[in-house]
Chains A and B, each alone.
Chain A
Amino acid sequence: MVERDYAMEAKVEERPAIRVEAPAVPKKKEGDLPVEQNELKMKASDVNLWYGEKQALFDVNLEMFDQSVTALIGPSGCGKSTFLRCLDRMNDVIDGVRITGDIRLDGEDIYAPRVDPVQLRARVGMVFQKPNPFPKSIFENVAYGPRIHGLCKSKAEFEEIVERSLTRAGLWEEVKDRLQEPGTGLSGGQQQRLCIARAISVNPEVLLMDEPCSALDPIATAKIETLMDDLRKNLCIVIVTHSMQQAARVSQRTAFFHLGKLVEVDDTTTIFTNPTDQRTQDYVTGRFG
């Protein structure tokens, strides 16, 4: 068995303490460009989604920008995860799902018949709620994506890409001596960072994160949040979260979903300090949800 390296996990750089009181007011970081000046990466227009007879999304319009984190918040069952899964067509594999509307990645309709969902998922990576490394070695976990997409030829290339991905995911130092050990032997936080390394190993343009920290303790959560901040420098990140504090900390833009509808989307600061909609106001101040 792999012993969990608690000492390693505890060595977190100084982070603001996680506040539990609402509303959380994010600070605009120095040097952040206004998000709208970034390139538009993904655009969803009039997205409706039905699970069989039941409609889960109603006319969702959302723009997601490059080099920024877009947070989707809202009460349980509001459709934010469903919407996230539309962005890499993960809903395709569920029976009885019907989607209308138009989702574009770099201006290209991802639901067009000639788009291969498998290639799309290489461009739009995903990290799930529960850490789900393959029951294989750490190396194999990261090398799997490049292998099936034929990104690497030689062993050296694989080693390079594994090291680069693990380094970007902030895990390299912790696992470089035990790459052949099973990924499932890592601690929860390490596993989730391994999953992130796996997702970025194929150089996606967009990274979708479905409540990536909800199964983790605060220290592991803090590490992942730092990591997201680093990753967004060359990625478009969309994150679903239940924690408004997390949304406030990591995102530049926040979208509030309620009952399958996108209620409001704006700069994170605006959403948390001066929302337009009463429902958003109630949610971010903790009056419901």
Chain B
Amino acid sequence: MSSSEALRPVGTADWASDQAQRRVRRRYAADRRLQAYGIIAIALAVGMLGVLLASLVSTGLPAFLQTKVELPIYVDPSQVDAEDPSSGKYRVLVREALNKAIPGIPEDEERSVGKILTSDAAYILRDYVVSHPDSIGKTITLPIAVSDPFDQLHKGVIPKEMNALTWSQVSYFERLQNRGVVVEDSGRTSLKLDVYVNPAEIEAGPPPSGDFAALARNSLQAYLPDVFDSALFGLLADDAPEAIAQRVAADPGIIGKTVPVLFPVSPPVAELAKGKTPKVLNSRFTPEQIKVFDAMEDKGLLRTPFNWELFFNADSRFPERAGLAGAISGSFYALMVCFLLSFPIGIAAAVYLEEFAPKNRFTDLIEVNINNLAAVPSVVFGLLGLAVFLGYFGLPRSAPLVGGMVLSLMTLPTIIIATRAALKAVPPSIREAALGVGASKHQVMMHHVLPLALPGILTGTIIGMAQALGETAPLLLIGMNAFIPSVENMGLLEPATSLPTQIFSWADSPERGFVSRTSAAILVLLGFLVIMNLIAITLRQMFQRKW
């Protein structure tokens, strides 16, 4: 090929042709599509996060307030011995105070009305008197938390009254109405149903006998043959079967025949027939309790202050008294152990692997294994901790020491990987510069490389710590979900719980108040995570140096 041939253009492009234009359009469309995918993905992610946060906040927010009664209590010296205030009859004092505040509580209702206050009311009073001995003989006003159902009632989470009929009962009634069997009979709403008075079951008497109730049910069932729901029979009044008995007594001749019978409906259904929504009192409350509670509200005794006890109380069986102090301090101890173990070990391991280790099969194996460790499910580390730390070394169960050790197994790979990445990111020119002026390997490391890698190391460490803070499974396995009713005996070797395991056990509790407290605890945990991440960012910016 001659040189002139080689220079001859092979493909000539006609940039104005339709084909070329179409190509351009397709290219632009592809660019836009790619962008759109990204935007959709981000929108989805942000949306889900938003939903999560919104649901957490909406369910968790009530837990940050707590309904309390400001009850004036006369600390009667005859009930409390000033010499030994810890063993007074505080239950009596609280009951008396309640009686005084809301006069006219019938004696047989005192017990149930007392349940408006938390079951810990007497202990709250005792703790107050013990720490303020001069209050004996005086009247003190003590805010006492109300028990969970009333707390929820006051916050409007649960209603005072509930629908008397289920929606399916309402729909059955509407179907009966459509068939025209609902009639008014001498002031009572009744169902006019055809009844086959079965001679095999009904005796004429007198008095007539037999299973009238079953007969009534069967005849109602015959109108709605597709319904197999015992709630259907709730539509009939309790005295409905007697309608058959009366008809048989009046005319025994109907036995063996099919006759229309008027069955009165139950009172809520009668109300429904009048177009009202029938209500009954929430079964958690008695009428007397509601009366007293309303009276408290009218007298202005109820307050909903910020629930500091959520942060300063330890766990309790009663949601209104349960707090996170035990969990927070347990998490703190465990994280401290975790940090003290994994930070130095992680950095030392990473520095050796990155700077000193010879490159051979063995170090490759270690490297691969460390990277794999980061992907091991945390529950496996929990099992390891259970078998080794508890089983073999016999360390105490539920202790933050063991929790921290297990968590450090988890954070170690994270820290090692982050530290190695940070060390790798230090420009080689800095090492060369230091070596060039005669710094030893150790001096290069300590004076130059580590300080430059520090922001990355700290970020990795704090992210590892944040992971550890949220880790539940390994802590459950070593039993770090103990019930901690007091923060007095916290220590490295004492039984403890942690924030995520506390959330786990609260989520497991049936009381309504724990539902919102679970969400609130999650918010607190998220708050700590946000704080840790902020610290990571701040540290990174503080130590970041340009080169």
List A residues at the B interface (Cβ < 8 Å). 88, 90, 93, 95, 118-122, 125-128, 130, 132-135, 144-145, 148-149, 182, 184, 195, 198-199, 201-202
Contact = CB atoms under 8 A, between A and B. Distances in A.
Interface in B430-489: 430-441, 443, 447-448, 452
Contacts of B443: 148
A145 B443 CA distance: 11
24 contacts: A90-B435, A90-B436, A93-B431, A93-B435, A93-B441, A95-B359, A118-B439, A121-B435, A125-B437, A126-B432, A128-B429, A128-B432, A130-B429, A132-B427, A134-B433, A134-B434, A135-B545, A135-B546, A144-B437, A148-B439, A148-B440, A148-B447, A182-B545, A182-B546
Given A132-B429, A148-B443, A126 B436 contact: yes
Please give me the 10 A-B residue pairs with the lowest Cβ-Cβ distance, nearest first.
A122-B438, A132-B429, A126-B436, A145-B437, A121-B438, A135-B545, A132-B433, A135-B547, A118-B440, A118-B438
A90 B437 contact: no
Interface string B58-82: 0000000000000000000000000
Contacts of B435: 90, 93, 121
Interface string B512-547: 000000000000000000000000000000000111
A199 B545 contact: no
Contacts of B437: 121-122, 125, 144-145, 148, 198-199, 201-202
Of the four ranges (under 10, 10 to 19, 20 to 34, 35 or more), the interface on chain B belongs to: 20 to 34
Contact of B438 (A119, A127, A182, A195): A119
A192 to B, nearest CB: 12
B448 A134 contact: yes
A16 to B, nearest CB: 31
A148 B436 CA distance: 12
Nearest to A144: B437
Contacts of A201: 437
Given A130-B429, A132-B430, A199 B546 contact: no
B413 to A, nearest CB: 25
Contact of B436 (A95, A119, A121, A182): A121
Contacts of B427: 132
B195 to A, nearest CB: 98
Interface of B: 358-359, 427, 429-441, 443, 447-448, 452, 545-547
Nearest to A146: B437
Interface core residue of A88, A144, A201 (most chain B CB under 10 Å):
A144
A148 B432 contact: no
Nearest to B544: A135
B438 A202 contact: yes
B433 A195 contact: yes
A253 B315 CA distance: 84
Nearest to A208: B436
Nearest to B433: A132
Nearest to A93: B435
Contacts of B433: 128, 132-134, 195, 198
Given A121-B435, A132-B432, A133-B433, 16 more contacts: A90-B435, A118-B438, A118-B439, A120-B438, A121-B436, A122-B437, A134-B433, A134-B434, A135-B546, A135-B547, A144-B437, A144-B447, A182-B545, A184-B545, A195-B433, A202-B438
Nearest to B547: A135
A145 B434 CA distance: 8
A218 B362 CA distance: 50
Interface core residue of A93, A119, A135, A195 (most chain B CB under 10 Å):
A135
A144 B430 CA distance: 13
A29 to B, nearest CB: 29
B436 A199 contact: yes
A133 B429 CA distance: 9
A198 B439 CA distance: 12
A145 B439 CA distance: 8
Contacts of B432: 90, 126, 128, 132
A105 B359 CA distance: 32
A162 to B, nearest CB: 14
A112 B1 CA distance: 61
Contact of A149 (B438, B452, B545): B438
Contacts of B434: 134, 144
A195 B443 CA distance: 18
A118 B444 CA distance: 11
Contacts of A130: 429
A130 B547 CA distance: 12
Contacts of B439: 118, 144, 148
Nearest to A131: B429
Contacts of A126: 432, 436
Contacts of B430: 132, 134-135
B260 to A, nearest CB: 99
Contacts of B448: 134
A23 B429 CA distance: 33
B78 to A, nearest CB: 77
A130 B429 CA distance: 8
Contacts of B452: 135
Contacts of A125: 436-437
A199 B433 CA distance: 9
Contacts of A93: 431, 435, 441
A119 B448 CA distance: 19
Contacts of B440: 118, 148
Nearest to A201: B437
A39 B438 CA distance: 25
Nearest to A116: B440
Contacts of B436: 88, 90, 121, 125-128, 199
A148 B438 contact: yes
Contacts of B441: 93
Contacts of A90: 432, 435-436
A106 to B, nearest CB: 17
